[in-house]
Each structure stands twice: as structure tokens, then as C-alpha cells.
């Protein structure tokens, strides 16, 4: 019996003493597999000490993680602590036990990540089979640090509540697909997101490094790729190695993606001989530009180039998986070229789907030769593709399940696209193993009802490796990238890590809000940067009215904003870029209105106060909107908020005992209709649906 199992048995026995499952007050996210809470806590003081023992204790990841943990604890508590000197000390406050040394070489898919955490008797015991499990347990421990609740005789300060936790992930592949081609993200930004990913136990950064808008890695074999295909924005190979080491220390694999044969304008700008026609080629800067051509799959020279290129990149990136894209190849890019049509006829290919299958098979052979497993988007799937390929689904669960039924491993990104600004509840409702449910009848933000389980055999189900959130960056620059990722990505991380039964949306939002604050202590700027951006928009005016207005709106959803034709050098400084993707204020208001209507009109005074304050802010913000040129487009938003607040207050007064005048309801509906689910520039006024509910609930015609 290994040491982890022994610790687990001891902890399991303690559960009967500790009681029931953890309350939301622990604010853990992702929610662990098993949590039991006891009375009391372990204080965190300046005498905090750490010991590490067991065969895996000297692993570099563990040794380097200990000082990081202490530094973060200092930051979270404000308590100075000496530099930790790990030792086998049974008196240490935090005692880490690592039962195994782990394998040599880079982290692999399916590596053991389980851990146990027991807080009791003035000590914290973190036990894991492997160093990787220790890293996951450390994040849970840091989430548990809190200010000690006040009670007579209690010493003020910080502590960790007595708990017993047994935890391990549901899926082995839990990632973020991170596009740095549309908008280049510097090394410090990538590292910051890696910190956030590690904090919520994500373990794969799928680094989208080439597209029509840019090629982002230094190639020593083919230097024109960065010279002509990057606009000077790329990572040197030394920087790549630095990021790889940084990620490995945090238990995160990095899977590179170089998109081919489509999305390849940056390749062709550097090496036009790869193209399916004569060009000219250039990097795409404006969204309305349609790439002229794609790679030519009929020329042997294309595969000779890609063989040499893939050899270089697989040597640079140590992970066993290599992503080749393969998505969105327009048939006319090939059928419009005579020699490609002739090739298809000679090889009896009935359509370009078969031609892409030919290309995918050739690339898989190259990737396999260089010791990697090929990953590609749905479009690479065809009956002749070897089962060693991994299918990355952006088209939905049915596509993922179809691949599993055919014997392919797969990962899901469909409906996890953070760039489309859907609420956390929507992403939270998507499960790799279930079809999406029907929308619930409750307030917006409560999420769909449970979906239909996948009709897979147990063996087929094992082929579903997990999933990835996706961030395509047509509409995200460095200063707002954190706000586009966080805190919603924590909800997706919980879907991948926590048990399938973890579906309580209200609990998710409560814990996600606490996690959002905690992530700021880690160094993410998803809350602070939008505040600074709004200060920039306000200029010499007091920013408070603009902040209030901004709290009631959200960016438009889906691909509707792409109609604005933003490019990689477009200015992204409007109000829609300076707000979160989801409004906590508007969601709370919608839920409060539901409770008011369901509970005999209790809580109307609070709703009245909110509406009065918002209506006043809509008036106060007008001088700013009138005189600040970038904000002038938002005057209709202020009009809408003022109108909605006035009608909402009237509706509340009529429901509290007054009598609505004849035709009031009809006129009120007509006034609010232009604001319900209607866009104003790039914005939606998200209190409008709740105001509509109030109006409809007023008695009378």
C-alpha cells in the first residue's frame, strides 16, 4: 500500500468525525471531490514553517513551489514570514508528503494529480502520490486561507479551517486554447495566465501560435517566418523555453498549434511557394480581408518544408502532443486552381474533403515520425485517418462523440469560447459527456436544465479526454485579456475537474466571485484593468457615474461584434472593451426581481433604491458622454437606463398598493421594448429583461 493510500484511509476515517460536505463559505473552486469540515482552525502566523518528506520531496517542482506558496500566503495575509527552508520536520505547520518521485521527462497526459489535505491539531498535512498532486493541493490550501472569524477570546489574524479533503480530477485534459496570433501577447502576459490556470487546476495551455494574422515563434530553419510573417511580434526560442519551464513548474503542459493547411497566410507571406496559387501573399491585418489562398496539398515540396519545420518545432516543444489545426479550409481555395483540380482527378478524389483527408494523413505521418501524437480540429476526421490522432471538437458534443464511437480520442471546446462573452452559467452547463439542456425558466444566469448523457459505451467514454476553454483574440488586447478570461474560466475549470454532479449554479457564482478576488492577489488584473480603462474614458470627469452605468451593461454576445470588422491593429478602447463579459449587478438584479415576484413582493424597497441610484447615475453621466468623444456613442444607453429605471420604479409602486393608470401597462411595454435584448453599439442593457418582468406583473390591462 503506497503512502497516499494510507493517508487517504486515515482521512476517510476522519470524515465521520468532521461531518458533512463543505459549505459554500469555503469558497473552493474547483470544488474538490470530497470535503468534510470540522470545528476549529490552524492559525497562520509569522512562524509558519514547511517540511517536505517522502521519495518525491526533493523533486524540483516541489522545492520551487514551497517558496512560491509562502510568498503568496504573505501576500494574502500581510504577515511577514521567513524564507522557507524545507526540511523533514514533524513539527512544521505545513507537512508535505510525496510518496513517489514521478517519471523522468516532461509531464504527460494522465499523470497522477490526486492529493489529500488534512487540517487538524495545529498542523496541515498535504499528501500526494506525485509532485504534481502536491501542486494541486497547494492551490486548494491557499484558497482556504481566510481571516479568522471574530469571536470573544479569538486572536485576530488569519487561519485555515479544519478540513479533510480528498481530491482528484474528473478529466485528464483540462486546458485553455490561447490565441496569440490575432493579438500578440507578451511573455509576461502568458506567464500571468499560466499562474491563473494553475490556481484553478487547469493543466494544458494549447498555444495557438500561427494564423492568417501572424506567425509567433522564431524559426532558425525558416527565419522568414518571423521576419515576414509576424510584424515583428514573435517569441524567440529562448523565450519559448523560459515559458515552457515556467509552465512545467506549475504542472501545466504546453501543446503548440501551427494551423495548416488553412489559416496559413503568415506561412505564405514568408514562403509563397507553399501556396495553392501564385499570390501575392501578406499577413492579414483587417478582419474583412479574406485570405486569398491556402497551402498546396498536391506538391511534394510542401511536405518537405513541413517535415523540416515540424522537426524543428517538435524539438522545441517537449509535449507528446502537437496540434496542426486543420479547420475552415474553403473548398474554392483549391478548386479554383487548375493543377489542384488535375491532381484530384488523377487521384480519383471526388471533393476537397478527400483532398484534405489526404493532406491530414500526410501530416499525421510526419508528426508521428517526429515522435508526437497529432491533434487537429474536427475537419481532419475521415475514415482513413489513423486512430492515433486526437480530434479537437469546436462544432459540438455530437462531433466529439461521433469521433469516440469511431475509436478516436477527443477534447471539447464547443461552447467554451470565452471570447463570445456568454455568461459563466452557460459555459458551466456544458459537459463533455452530456448534450446541452434546454434553457431554464428562471432568471438569466441560472443556466440550462441538465442535458442528455452521451450514448457511449464505457470504453468509448474513456476516449473523451476532457476539454479546453478557448480565447480567440480578434477582440482582446493585452490590457483587457485578463477580463475576457477571468473569472469565467474558473467555472469551466470546475466543469473539467469536479465531479459530474457539481451543477449548482447559485453556488458556482458565489464561489466564483470569491475566487475572482483571490485571483487578483495572485496578480491577475481582470478587475483592476477595466477600472483603469474606464478612468481613461472619463478623463476629467468623476468616474463613479460611468462605473455605475457600466455595471448594468454587457458586451453583445456571439459573433455579432465581429461585424464591426476589427483588425489586429484596431483601437479597442470603447466602453464595451472596458467592462466584464458578464455583469454581476445585472444578474443579481434579475434574480432579485424573480425573488420579489415569487415571494409576495418582499424586498421592493431595495429594488426601488437600486433603480433610483441607477437612474440618477444615468443623469449624472450625461456631461461626460456629451463631451468625451469616445463615449458619445453611449448616450442612447444612458437614455435607456434612465427610462427603464423610471418605469421599473413605477411598476414597483403600483404593485405595492398603488393603482396603475389606464393604458399605463401598454405604454410602459412600448417604452421598454426598444431596450430588451437590443444592442446599442456593442452593448446590451442587461437590466431590461427584469424591468419587463416587473411591468408584466403589474395588475390591470
Domain residue ranges in the chain: 3-167, 173-517, 528-697
Lowest mean pLDDT among 17-26, 350-359, 387-396, 665-674: 17-26
Which pLDDT does position 308 carry in this prediction?
Answer: 98
Q: At what angle do helices 131-144 and 505-522 cross, to 10 degrees?
A: 100
- Looking at CATH, the fold of the domain delimited by 3-167 is given as Chitobiase; domain 2 (3.30.379)
Based on the number of CB atoms within 10 Å of its own CB, is 207 exposed (0-12), middle (13-18) or buried (19 or more)? buried
Alpha-carbon distance 386 to 127, whole Å? 40
Mean pLDDT, the chain, rounded, equals 91
Three-state secondary-structure class, residue 632: helix
Neighbour tally for 17: CB within 10 Å? 11
Residues 133-146 have pLDDT tens digits of: 999 999 999 999 99
Residue 381 has pLDDT above 50, yes or no: yes
Taking the CA atoms of residue 544, residue 547, residue 551 and residue 556 in that order, the dihedral angle to the nearest 10 degrees is 150
What sign for the dihedral angle of Cα 529, 530, 532, 536?
Answer: positive
Which pLDDT does position 567 carry in this prediction?
Answer: 79
Which pLDDT does position 666 carry in this prediction?
Answer: 94
CA distances from 22 to 33, 260, 436, 487, 559 (A): 11, 47, 28, 22, 39
Which pLDDT does position 443 carry in this prediction?
Answer: 37
Q: Is 328 a catalytic residue?
A: yes
Give the whole-number percent of the chain exceeding pLDDT 90.
81
Average of per-residue pLDDT across 59-66: 95
Residues 507-561 have pLDDT tens digits of: 999 999 999 999 999 999 999 999 999 999 999 999 999 999 999 999 999 988 7
Residue 85 has pLDDT above 80, yes or no: no
Helices (H) then strands (E): counts for the chain: 25, 19
DSSP calls for 276-299: SS--------STTPPP---B-TT-
Which residues, 6+ apart, have CB-to-CB distance to 295 below 8 Å?
Answer: 260, 261, 262, 264, 267, 268, 274, 275, 276, 302, 359
Residue 253 has pLDDT above 90, yes or no: yes
Residue 396 has pLDDT above 70, yes or no: yes
Residue 450 has pLDDT above 70, yes or no: no
Residue 441 has pLDDT above 60, yes or no: no
Residue 110 has pLDDT above 90, yes or no: yes
Which pLDDT does position 562 carry in this prediction?
Answer: 72
Are 470 and 413 a contacting pair, CB within 8 Å? yes
Residue 445 has pLDDT above 60, yes or no: no
DSSP calls for 349-402: --SHHHHHHHHHHHHHHHHHHTT-EEEEEGGG--TTS-TTSEEEESS-HHHHHH
C-alpha radius of gyration, the chain, whole number: 27
Which pLDDT does position 40 carry in this prediction?
Answer: 92
CA distances from 214 to 61, 223, 225, 253, 265 (A): 34, 14, 9, 23, 8
Residues 152-200 have pLDDT tens digits of: 888 899 999 999 999 999 999 999 999 999 999 999 999 999 999 999 9
Residue 332 has pLDDT above 70, yes or no: yes
Residue 8 has pLDDT above 60, yes or no: no
Which pLDDT does position 24 carry in this prediction?
Answer: 61
- The number of angstroms, rounded, from the C-alpha of 669 to the middle of its chain's C-alpha atoms is 38
Three-state secondary-structure class, residue 249: helix
Residues 579-637 have pLDDT tens digits of: 999 999 999 999 999 999 999 898 899 999 999 999 999 999 999 999 999 999 999 99
Residue 20 has pLDDT above 70, yes or no: no
Lowest mean pLDDT among 54-68, 435-449, 579-593, 659-673: 435-449
CATH class of 173-517: alpha beta
Residues 24-41 have pLDDT tens digits of: 679 999 999 999 999 999
Alpha-carbon distance 701 to 698, whole Å? 9
Alpha-carbon distance 506 to 447, whole Å? 10
Q: How confident is the model at residue 437 (pLDDT cuts 50, 70, 90)?
A: low
Residues 648-675 have pLDDT tens digits of: 999 999 998 878 898 999 999 999 999 9
Lowest mean pLDDT among 260-274, 360-374, 461-475, 563-577: 563-577
Which pLDDT does position 84 carry in this prediction?
Answer: 72
Average of per-residue pLDDT across 343-353: 95
Q: How confident is the model at residue 460 (pLDDT cuts 50, 70, 90)?
A: very high
Average of per-residue pLDDT across 201-229: 97
Q: How confident is the model at residue 5 (pLDDT cuts 50, 70, 90)?
A: very low
Average of per-residue pLDDT across 253-278: 95
Q: Which of 288, 328, 517, 696 is catalytic?
A: 328
Residue 10 has pLDDT above 50, yes or no: no
Which pLDDT does position 12 carry in this prediction?
Answer: 35
Which residues, 6+ apart, have CB-to-CB distance to 446 below 8 Å?
Answer: 425, 440, 505, 506, 591
Which pLDDT does position 288 carry in this prediction?
Answer: 61
Whole-prediction pTM: 0.94
Amino acid at each position: 500500500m503506497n503512502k497516499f493510500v494510507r493517508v487517504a484511509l486515515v482521512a476517510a476515517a476522519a470524515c465521520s468525525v468532521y461531518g458533512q460536505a463543505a459549505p459554500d463559505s469555503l469558497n473552493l473552486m474547483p470544488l474538490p471531490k470530497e470535503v468534510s469540515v470540522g470545528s476549529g482552525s490552524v492559525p497562520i502566523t509569522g512562524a509558519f514553517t514547511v517540511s517536505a518528506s517522502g521519495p518525491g520531496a526533493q523533486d524540483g517542482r516541489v522545492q520551487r513551489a514551497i517558496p512560491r506558496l509562502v510568498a503568496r500566503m504573505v501576500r494574502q495575509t500581510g504577515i511577514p514570514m521567513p524564507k522557507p527552508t524545507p526540511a523533514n520536520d514533524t513539527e512544521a505547520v505545513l507537512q508535505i508528503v510525496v510518496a513517489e518521485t514521478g517519471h523522468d521527462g516532461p509531464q504527460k497526459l494522465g499523470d497522477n494529480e490526486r492529493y489529500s489535505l488534512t487540517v487538524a491539531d495545529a498542523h496541515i498535512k498535504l499528501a500526494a502520490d506525485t509532485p504534481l498532486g502536491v501542486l494541486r493541493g497547494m492551490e486548494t490550501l491557499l484558497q482556504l486561507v481566510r481571516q479568522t472569524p471574530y469571536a470573544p477570546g479569538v486572536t485576530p489574524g488569519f487561519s485555515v479551517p479544519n478540513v479533510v479533503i480528498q481530491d482528484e480530477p474528473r478529466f485528464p485534459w483540462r486546458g485553455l486554447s490561447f490565441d496569440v496570433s490575432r493579438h500578440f501577447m507578451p511573455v509576461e502576459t502568458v506567464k500571468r495566465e499560466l499562474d491563473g490556470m494553475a490556481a484553478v487546476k487547469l493543466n494544458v495551455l494549447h498555444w495557438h501560435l500561427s494564423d492568417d494574422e501572424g506567425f509567433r515563434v522564431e524559426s532558425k530553419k525558416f527565419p522568414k517566418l518571423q521576419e515576414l510573417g509576424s510584424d515583428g511580434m514573435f517569441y524567440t526560442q529562448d523565450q519559448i523555453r523560459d515559458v515552457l519551464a515556467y509552465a512545467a513548474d506549475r504542472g501545466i503542459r504546453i501543446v503548440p498549434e501551427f494551423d495548416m493547411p488553412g489559416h496559413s497566410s503568415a506561412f505564405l507571406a514568408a514562403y509563397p511557394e507553399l501556396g495553392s496559387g501564385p499570390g501575392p501573399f501578406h499577413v492579414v491585418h483587417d478582419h474583412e480581408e479574406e485570405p486569398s489562398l491556402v497551402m498546396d496539398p498536391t506538391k511534394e515540396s510542401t511536405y518537405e518544408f513541413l517535415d523540416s519545420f515540424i522537426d524543428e518545432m517538435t524539438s522545441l516543444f517537449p509535449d507528446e502532443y502537437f496540434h496542426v489545426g486543420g479547420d475552415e479550409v474553403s473548398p474554392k481555395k483549391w478548386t479554383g486552381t487548375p493543377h489542384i483540380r488535375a491532381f484530384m482527378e488523377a487521384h480519383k478524389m471526388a471533393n476537397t474533403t478527400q483532398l484534405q483527408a489526404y493532406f491530414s494523413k500526410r501530416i499525421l505521418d510526419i508528426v508521428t515520425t517526429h515522435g508526437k501524437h497529432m491533434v487537429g480540429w474536427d475537419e481532419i476526421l475521415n475514415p482513413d485517418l489513423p486512430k492515433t490522432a486526437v480530434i479537437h471538437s469546436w462544432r459540438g458534443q455530437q462531433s466529439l462523440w461521433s469521433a469516440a464511437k469511431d475509436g478516436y480520442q477527443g477534447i471539447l471546446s464547443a461552447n467554451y469560447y470565452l471570447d463570445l462573452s456568454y455568461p459563466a452559467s452557460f459555459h458551466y452547463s456544458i459537459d463533455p459527456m452530456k448534450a446541452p439542456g434546454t434553457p431554464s425558466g428562471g432568471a438569466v444566469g441560472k443556466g440550462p436544465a441538465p442535458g442528455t448523457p452521451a450514448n457511449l459505451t464505457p470504453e468509448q467514454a474513456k476516449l473523451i479526454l476532457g476539454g479546453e476553454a478557448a480565447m480567440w483574440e480578434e477582440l482582446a488586447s493585452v490590457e483587457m485579456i485578463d477580463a475576457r478570461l477571468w473569472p469565467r474560466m474558473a467555472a469551466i475549470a470546475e466543469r473539467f475537474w469536479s465531479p459530474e454532479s457539481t451543477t449548482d449554479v447559485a453556488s458556482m457564482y458565489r464561489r466564483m466571485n470569491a475566487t475572482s478576488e483571490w485571483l487578483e492577489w495572485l496578480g491577475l488584473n481582470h478587475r483592476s484593468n477595466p477600472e483603469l480603462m474606464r478612468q481613461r474614458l472619463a478623463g476629467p470627469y468623476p468616474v463613479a457615474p460611468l462605473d455605475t452605468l457600466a455595471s448594468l451593461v454587457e458586451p453583445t454576445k456571439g459573433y455579432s461584434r465581429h461585424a464591426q470588422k476589427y483588425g489586429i491593429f484596431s483601437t479597442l478602447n470603447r466602453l464595451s472593451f472596458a467592462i466584464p463579459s458578464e455583469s454581476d449587478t445585472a444578474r443579481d438584479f434579475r434574480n432579485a426581481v424573480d425573488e420579489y415576484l415569487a415571494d409576495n413582493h418582499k424586498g421592493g424597497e431595495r429594488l426601488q433604491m437600486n433603480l433610483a441610484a441607477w437612474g440618477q447615475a444615468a443623469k449624472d453621466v450625461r456631461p461626460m458622454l456629451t463631451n468625451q468623444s469616445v463615449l458619445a456613442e453611449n448616450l442612447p444607453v444612458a437614455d435607456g437606463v434612465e427610462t427603464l429605471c423610471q418605469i421599473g420604479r413605477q411598476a414597483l409602486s403600483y404593485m405595492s398598493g398603488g393603482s396603475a393608470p389606464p393604458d399605463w401597462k401598454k405604454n410602459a411595454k412600448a417604452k421598454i421594448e426598444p431596450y430588451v435584448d437590443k444592442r446599442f453599439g456593442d452593448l446590451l442593457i442587461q437590466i431590461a429583461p427584469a424591468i419587463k418582468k416587473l411591468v408584466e406583473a403589474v395588475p390591470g390591462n
